[in-house]
Amino acid sequence: MKFKIVFLIAWSSVLIALDQLTKIYVHTHFQLHESVPVLEPIFNLTYVRNFGAAFGFLAESHPTFRKIFFMIIPPLAVIIILSILKTVSEKDKWQIFALSSIFGGAIGNYIDRLRFGYVIDFLDFHYLQFVWPAFNIADSAIVCGVCILMFQMFFEKKSTTSQTATTTNIPS
């Protein structure tokens, strides 16, 4: 259990620090909606305030509902992540990494909600007419963590299925 907790604290602290430092920089050096090309024509740094969840989900909902929802969900997610982490084997480094990434990302965005009532987004990818909603380091950590968990579940299930098929096809 010691490795899991030490890793969770270390990795999520790095993510939170990187997330908060980049957001502070954008918040103090950019005007709202200011955009600076970084890699034309696909990537800009653009200061956006996200009052909703991922991709602006719930941004148009009643402010009181949003405030309550976004004050309750991140602590609940943190409790769930810690509960799951308890059951993970110390050998399962990828799952520990994924859960720690989600944990750090959730806290990074929660800090913004506590400080400002919204999340600062600034990573702005687009190509021709396609525009991906702006996001931040915390969002990236959450998405990467979820993708790793999904990848693991898919291949674990596939491995278990093929193992079962192999053992049931052995002639007696």
Q: In terms of Cα–Cα distance, which of 24, 43, 41 is closest to 108?
A: 24
Asked if residue 171 has pLDDT above 90, the reply is: no
DSSP result, 16-40 = HHHHHHHHHHHHHHS-TT-EEEEET
Are the CB atoms for 112 and 24 separated by under 8 Å?
no
Report how far residue 109's alpha carbon sits from residue 118's, in angstroms, rounded to the nearest whole number.
Answer: 9
H or E element: which one contains 138?
helix 137-168
What pLDDT digit, counting tens, does each position of 15-69 carry? 999 999 999 999 999 999 999 999 999 999 999 999 877 666 777 778 788 888 8
CA-nearest of 46, 24, 20, 43 to 35 is: 46
Paired residues of 85 in beta bridges: none
Q: What pLDDT digit, counting tens, does each position of 60-98 carry? A: 778 788 888 888 999 999 999 999 999 999 999 999 999
Predicted structure pTM score: 0.86
121 or 154, greater pLDDT: 121
Domain ranges of the chain: 2-162
Active-site residues, by number, are 121, 139
- Are 142 and 108 in contact by the 8 Å Cβ rule? The answer is no
Tokens describing residue 117: 């009532």
